[in-house]
Amino acid sequence: MPRYAMVIDLQRCVGCGACSIACRNENNVPDGIYWSNKITETQGTFPNVRYHYIPTLCNHCGNAPCVRGCPTKAMHKLDNGITMHDPDKCIGCKYCEFNCPYGVIYFNWRKPHTFWRDDKALIKGGTNSPKEEAQKVGAKVVPYYNPERDDTLPGIRPKGVVEKCTFCDHRVNKGLLPYCVEACPADARIFGDISDPKSEVSILLGKFRPFRLREQIGTEPHIFYIRDFNPAHYQPTKGGV
Amino acid sequence: MSEKKGLYGTWLVVLGIAILLGLYAAIRLFAQGHYLFNTNDVIIWSLPLGVYIFLALTSSGLTLLAGIPLVLKVKKYEPFAKRLVFLAFATLLGGFVAIGLELGSVEHMFWILFSPNFSSPIWWMGFIYSVELVVLIVKFWKMHTGDWHSGFSNALSVISFLLALIAPLMIGSVFGITESRVTYFGPMMSVYSLVLGLLSGAALFMFYSMIFHRVTGDGAVESQTPLYNEFATIFGYVAGVAVILTLVKFAIESATVVPEFLVYHQFAHAFGAWQGFHVEVLLGLFLPFVLLLVPSVRKSVGGKIVTSALILVGTLMMHMEILLAGQSHPVGPKAEQYPAFISYFPSIWEWLVFVFALAIMLLLYTLGERYLKLAEVPE
């Protein structure tokens, strides 16, 4: 059985956000919820400042606090290492969200996609209402609804339960890459089986010194970051007193 | 007599209105979702959960106190036993109302039974309190039918006592074992929960008994004045332990340089502070503790009411403060969508959940007191 992991090459990542947009489309993610997200940091004091960008998603931890804490096993591990969620078993206690050290789990506070459920047209008789728009393209709730998401998880999760990245398990089951990996124009995301020493992820992890987020708390995150993007130059110097 | 009847009727009407409002809030929550709360993906748990923690821990405290006559067999406290067991049950039920309305999908609750996760402190907390509720009901029924000390009845006392010891430790571990939030103090949270539970349990019993005495002019309470004075001393000792633990907690907070604690300090003053001490701790714990050291205050009905009322409000505020402070800053990428530091004030719907839980609890107290002979002692 493979153990899936992802390497994110920060030198290749340009921070375009295509991963996040692709994720929303693929997984019918509602507004206000971010399966794929980012951490941006500005360091230094003006005028010597730099901007850093770290893409984030569920770390599919080996020792996942969300799985350990879930009272009904709604949050659970698959044999391939993916941390999966079953909304039918979720009681909406939000302990996984509370317990996640990475801030990648979100709660559906209301019925998702409220905008597309609105039946008021902007111009009566002139434009479609959002609800009509979705109905006319034959979609479920949102016009860009992806029915393939239903393979392993309700395509749109109901209110009162949490949701998060599943490494696009519905695609992985079919031998396809997670959609964020597919959509990345810079090939900054590399996905594969970390238990296979010949996989691309294993080769990269042997070649570059990776880091993981909050590694010290022992959660064994399976998102690895390598390299950094920094074109800055400086003249050789020993500093001064 | 007619004045008392009028008061009783008015009281029932007030509780009825509160319960109707609570039911309305529950319907709106289940129909529209928990966005009606002033919560978000940073402040995830709010007033309803704080109320649950407060009531559940108070119930544990009451059960532990009931253990003095029922488990430790200190016979002179037997006149308190039946009322303590009943209050513990009714208070826990109020807590269940609060947590039930906090959960997003309460209809999936049966999975707690069919898909249990034994590594989850929430599962253990839910399981232990559910068993505790059943044990308390059966124990109360046994006492009500005159069976106080049979083997089965004694076993129920011991089981409920042990469950009441473990349950607060579990509530503490729900917070204490979160890797992502160091501000919850790890294992200390469990001990702190147990002590605060015992404290609020003692405060509730004292407050309730004195108010009951004032409202009904019940002679039984008056005749037991020495016993209540002795109980006030126990109350003072428990407050003393809570004061020491709180001082240790403050010492850790003020000595640390862990970044999360520095953010925590910003939030620590949400309710106001004096010399670095939170107002709810000063007025809700330290002040009543000092008052309880004065014998004349400890022995007077007014002193008992004031100190227990201060501690009841104080412990609820302390639970809320701890709950919110640990969630005051967004974790990881959530800082992209939310400010670095978030404040909170409950919405009307959260207040209604609070009112609903209290009203159910108070209605049970009222009916229990009227129909179930709570001052009964074994023959």
- Contact assignment for B104 to A100 by CB distance below 8 Å: no
Architecture label for domain B2-369: Up-down Bundle (1.20)
Residue B3 has a pLDDT of: 74
Chain A residue numbers with beta carbons less than 8 Å from the beta carbon of B45 are 94, 98
Q: Give per-residue pLDDT as tens, A122-134.
A: 999 899 999 999 9
Q: Could you give the ipTM of this predicted complex?
A: 0.92
Helices H, strands E: what count in chain B? 15, 2
| Cβ atoms B264, B326 nearer than 8 A | yes
- Contact assignment for A91 to B111 by CB distance below 8 Å: yes
Task: Please say if the pLDDT value at position B376 is more than 80.
Answer: yes
CA–CA min distance B258, chain A (Å): 14
Task: Please say if the pLDDT value at position B378 is more than 90.
Answer: no
Chain A residue numbers with beta carbons less than 8 Å from the beta carbon of B122 are 69-71, 93, 95
Residue B321 has a pLDDT of: 87
Residues B350-355, mean pLDDT to the nearest whole number: 98
Residue B186's pLDDT band (cuts 50, 70, 90)? confident
Give me chain B's average pLDDT, please. 92
What is the DSSP code string of B222-234? HHTHHHHHHHHHH
Residues B333-349, mean pLDDT to the nearest whole number: 92
Residues B94-111, mean pLDDT to the nearest whole number: 95
Q: Which residue of A has its CA nearest to B105?
A: A91
Q: Give per-residue pLDDT as tens, B219-231.
A: 667 788 899 999 9
CA–CA min distance A108, chain B (Å): 8
What is the DSSP code string of A4-51? EEEEEETTT-----HHHHHHHHHHTPPTT--SSEEEEEEEEETTEEEE
Q: Give per-residue pLDDT as tens, B128-185.
A: 999 999 999 999 999 999 999 999 999 999 999 999 999 999 999 999 888 777 777 7
For chain A, domain boundaries: 4-226
Q: What distance in Å separates the CA atoms of residue A78 and residue A58, rounded to the nearest whole number?
A: 14
Task: Please say if the pLDDT value at position B269 is more than 70.
Answer: no
Q: What is the largest CA-CA distance in chain B?
A: 67
Pick the CATH number of A4-226 from 3.40.50.300, 3.40.50.2300, 3.30.70.20, 2.40.50.100: 3.30.70.20
Tokens representing B83 are 């009322």
CA–CA min distance A55, chain B (Å): 9
How do strand A4-9 and strand A223-226 relate by DSSP bridges? Answer: parallel
Task: Please say if the pLDDT value at position B208 is more than 90.
Answer: yes
B120 touches chain A (CB under 8 A): yes
Residue B342 has a pLDDT of: 87
Q: What distance in Å separates the CA atoms of residue A225 and residue A206, rounded to the nearest whole number?
A: 13
Residue B320 has a pLDDT of: 93
Residue in B32, B109, B115 nearest the CB of A110: B32
Three-state SS annotation for A178-219: CHHHHHCCCCCEEEEECCCCCCHHHHHHHHCCCECCCHHHCC
Task: Please say if the pLDDT value at position B258 is more than 80.
Answer: no
Residue in B35, B180, B333 nearest the CB of A38: B333
Tally of CB atoms within 10 A around B234: 15
Q: What distance in Å separates the CA atoms of residue B153 and residue B141, rounded to the nearest whole number?
A: 10
Query: Which amino acid is located at B367 in the chain?
Result: L
Percent of chain B having pLDDT more than 70?
94
Q: What distance in Å separates the CA atoms of residue A17 and residue A175, rounded to the nearest whole number?
A: 24
Q: What distance in Å separates the CA atoms of residue A131 and residue A128, rounded to the nearest whole number?
A: 8
Q: Give per-residue pLDDT as tens, A147-204.
A: 999 999 999 999 999 999 999 999 999 999 999 999 999 999 999 999 999 999 999 9
Tally of CB atoms within 10 A around B340: 10
Residue B224 has a pLDDT of: 87
Task: Please say if the pLDDT value at position A58 is more than 70.
Answer: yes
Residues B255-259, mean pLDDT to the nearest whole number: 73
Percent of chain A having pLDDT more than 70?
100
Question: For residue A60, which of A5, A122, A10 has the smallest C-alpha distance?
Answer: A5
What is the DSSP code string of A121-165? -SSTTTS--HHHHHHHTT-SSSTT--GGGGGTS-SSPPTTSEE--
Q: Give per-residue pLDDT as tens, A6-28.
A: 999 999 999 999 999 999 999 99
Q: What is this structure's pTM? A: 0.94
- Contact assignment for B33 to A37 by CB distance below 8 Å: no
Tokens representing A35 are 């399966």
CA–CA min distance B101, chain A (Å): 10
Residue B261 has a pLDDT of: 67
Q: Give per-residue pLDDT as tens, A70-113.
A: 999 999 999 999 999 999 999 999 999 999 999 999 999 999 99
Dihedral angle over CA of B320, B298, B212, B81, nearest 10: 80
Residue B283's pLDDT band (cuts 50, 70, 90)? very high
How do strand A37-45 and strand A106-107 relate by DSSP bridges? Answer: unpaired
| Cβ atoms B7, B334 nearer than 8 A | no
For chain B, domain boundaries: 2-369
Q: What distance in Å separates the CA atoms of residue B91 and residue B56, rounded to the nearest whole number?
A: 7
Tokens representing A70 are 């879930």
Burial string for B100-135 (b: 16+ CB within 10 Å, else e) reads: bbbbbbbebbebbeebbbeebbbbbbbbbbeebbeb
Residue B184 has a pLDDT of: 79
Question: For residue B70, which of B125, B23, B16, B140 has the smallest C-alpha distance?
Answer: B140
Q: Give per-residue pLDDT as tens, B299-332.
A: 999 999 999 999 999 999 999 988 988 888 899 9
Chain B residue numbers with beta carbons less than 8 Å from the beta carbon of A218 are 179
Residue B215 has a pLDDT of: 84
Residues B269-286, mean pLDDT to the nearest whole number: 77
